[in-house]
A = this chain, B = another copy of it.
């Protein structure tokens, strides 16, 4: 249950459209058609499921503000976050082709979600093939990110995993206008552990090590990158998997 719901504001889709246009070229008509998608938005406090596991969904959720995660868990209750979504991300655009949620979506902090109905998305992509490709591509970028996370979790050390996550988030936040080297990340240490497959205790120790080595400081929901190049080297971070246009990669 959201804190409150509103009809859509005319420009609420703009951050997502900006993300789409970064990787797909769309005509003015196509963009207008996306912008005309009806929807409504809801505000959730932290730690609220806005899509439940196994649910059959009828809407795609776009993150307008805040931070959301895709959560899965084992029978014994161990949690794994398989995606983090920042403003401008369509957290479950994939639910348009595949409406059965095979993981939950949850807010990590107070988060505004914009909901667009599958019917409208499907009608739109049926009419505009280029929009279909743009949406499909948008999903594949998230899949490429998950693929890199899998390498990270499966084969990297704790320090490398955390460093890699910080590099990725820094770059993603920079794209939406935050400061790459000093941004807000409203996630607990336990959340970070659930992203990279480590316990909260070990995340704590790893963050301390990164701070002591003056690579990055994570404290109180803020990330300060102290030495970008050293962090990149530690993480073996290569941003190509983010599929950014060349001018966005520094």
Contact = CB atoms under 8 A, between A and B. Distances in A.
Contact of A132 (B136, B139, B142, B197): B136
Interface residues on A, range: 35 or more
Nearest to A72: B151
Contact of A102 (B135, B142, B144, B156): B144
Interface stretch (A10-18, A59-67, A121-129, A173-181): A121-129
Interface of A: 54, 70, 72-76, 78-80, 82-83, 94, 96-98, 100, 102-103, 122, 125-127, 129, 132-133, 135-137, 139-144, 146-151, 153-156, 160, 196-197, 236, 240-241, 243
21 contacts: A74-B151, A78-B155, A80-B150, A82-B150, A94-B140, A96-B136, A97-B137, A98-B137, A98-B140, A98-B141, A98-B144, A102-B148, A102-B243, A103-B147, A129-B132, A132-B136, A136-B136, A136-B139, A142-B143, A146-B146, A150-B150
